[in-house]
Each structure stands twice: as structure tokens, then as C-alpha cells.
Amino acid sequence: SSQPKGSDPPPQGDASCTLDKETPGVIAKTRKTVRSVTPSIKRVVDYFHIGVIGYGNKVGPVLARPPINGELEGVVGESASTAITNCLMPVSDVANKPLRVETRTKQVDDGAGGLVSQTIKFPVWFEPVAYGATPMGEAMDKAWHVLVDFLNRYPGCYPPVVINITDGEATDADPEKHAACIRNLAGSDGNALLFNLHISSLSDLPILFPDKSAVLADDYAQMLFRMSSILPPRMWNEAKKEGHRLSELSRGFAFNADLVSVIKFLDIGTRVSQTLS
């Protein structure tokens, strides 16, 4: 097979729920986040490898299933543990093999100023869960191993992008050092990018692409801000076109994101040049 022109190493999904009083809000936002990621998987052409690492009671691939007859074989290397052997796969393999396909109803424009119900097929790749601790450091370490192996195999690929989706309250070792290790990885086209998407049940308005931690409400959000990469020029320009207020220090970070913010963030964070061929 040909060398990928782009790579999208693993988004990380926090499968934990640290505070009992926040459980309903966090689970609801987790479900919405999964729904926002799902259409993106179906749209992406095969310039990418994609994977999802979930972390809660355990840390490991969420999107991948064991290979059957050579299917979903992923990117495998000596540095990859058994838990992440099949973490990264060509996105066409993933798109064509969802966990299940549901029948849903959505409202669409009827062309006369009203709405009409339309039945659609909605593929589901993984389930939203919220339980256990938040071993973010361990998840970052898993992601680092996946990226090291991928970059060894494809050193000329588009810089890997890791998107960490979490409520922010790590319960294991300091994840900042692991985040720094990810950001320090590089191929011939530039350093890996680490973006953080902080979901919360607080009532604060969403904050996207901040340039300083002082605007954030708590220590956990500020930690995730420090862990996040500064937006590279291409993504900075895309975010600017979408109307976001930015400075040269704006980072790939979102706090208290709602569904609309999640979709915008993921779109900008994974958008690549349309000249790829």
C-alpha cells in the first residue's frame, strides 16, 4: 500500500466520571461528542489513519476490533503493546465497518419554509461511557507509543494530530510531561500536534482557542491549556475564517465545549489541505 499523505493518530476519549454530582451532565456531553465524531469518520477519505484510545477503568483502543481475515489490521510495531496493536487503521477500513447502523429520524428543510421528518441510516463506531478514574497520563503514554511507531514507518507524513477529549481531572501521574513528549515528536513535515477538548457540566460559556490560561475557570482547565499546542498557521487561518478571535499564541484548546463548539473544534483541528492527491 502507498504511504499515507496524512495521519490522524489517536484521539483520546476520557471514559471516566470523577465527580458523582457531574455524572448526568458529563454522560450527556459524552454522548453528544460521540455523535459529533461519527459523521467525521464517514466523510474522511483515505489520506488518514485514525484511532481512538479510551481511558477510564482501563486504557486501550475503542475504535479497533480484532482483525478478521486481514481486516482492520492497523499499524503494528515492536513498540506497540497488545492493547494498542490495532489502534490505527486506514480510515476507509473504519468507515466501511461500523459497530452497527441505526435508523434515526431528523428534521430537514422541505423547500417551502418548513421542516419534514426524514429517516436516515446512522452508523455507530463506538459507545459513549463515563465511569472509573481518569488515567490521562497512561493514555498519553499509549498515544506516544502509537505515534513513535507510526512516525518510524511514515516519517514524511502530515504531522500527527492527537485530540484529547476529557473532563480534565487526571487521577494518575502528571499528564503534562507525557503531553510534552507527544508535542516533541516530529516527522519531516513538522511536530505532532496535541489539542485538548475540555467538556464540563459548569454553566460557563464555551471558550475556544484561548491564548492565556487566566481566562479559564479552574486549575484542570489551565493544565490542559498548558498541554495544548499553539495553532499552526494553516489551522490559525481556518479558525480566523470561522470568526474566532485569535492571537499568535492561541492554542488548540476548548473549555466547557457545547455540541456546536465540539463540531467546530474537531473540524478545524482535523482539516487538511484540499490539494492533497
Give the per-residue pLDDT at 30.
Answer: 52
The one-letter amino acid code at 173 reads A
pLDDT at 76 exceeding the cut of 90: no
pLDDT at 209 exceeding the cut of 70: yes
**pLDDT band at residue 45 using 50, 70 and 90 as cut-offs:** low
Alpha-carbon torsion (150, 56, 177, 256), positive or negative: positive
Looking at per-residue confidence, does 253 or 92 come out higher?
253
**pLDDT band at residue 110 using 50, 70 and 90 as cut-offs:** confident
In this prediction, residues 73-96 reach a mean pLDDT of 59
Q: Are 223 and 168 in contact (CB under 8 A)?
A: yes
Measuring CA to CA, which residue among 6, 22, 23, 99 is closest to residue 61?
A: 99
DSSP secondary structure string for all residues of 1-36: -PPPS--BPPPEEE-----GGGHHHHHHHHHHHHHH
Q: Which domains does the chain have, with CATH numbers?
A: 12-98+124-270 (3.40.50.410)
Burial class (CB in 10 A: 0-12, 13-18, 19+), 67: middle
User: For 110, which DSSP code?
Assistant: -
Give the per-residue pLDDT at 144.
Answer: 94
Give the per-residue pLDDT at 124.
Answer: 85
Looking at per-residue confidence, does 198 or 269 come out higher?
198
Beta strand 100-109 pairing with 193-198? unpaired
How high does pLDDT run on average in the chain? 75
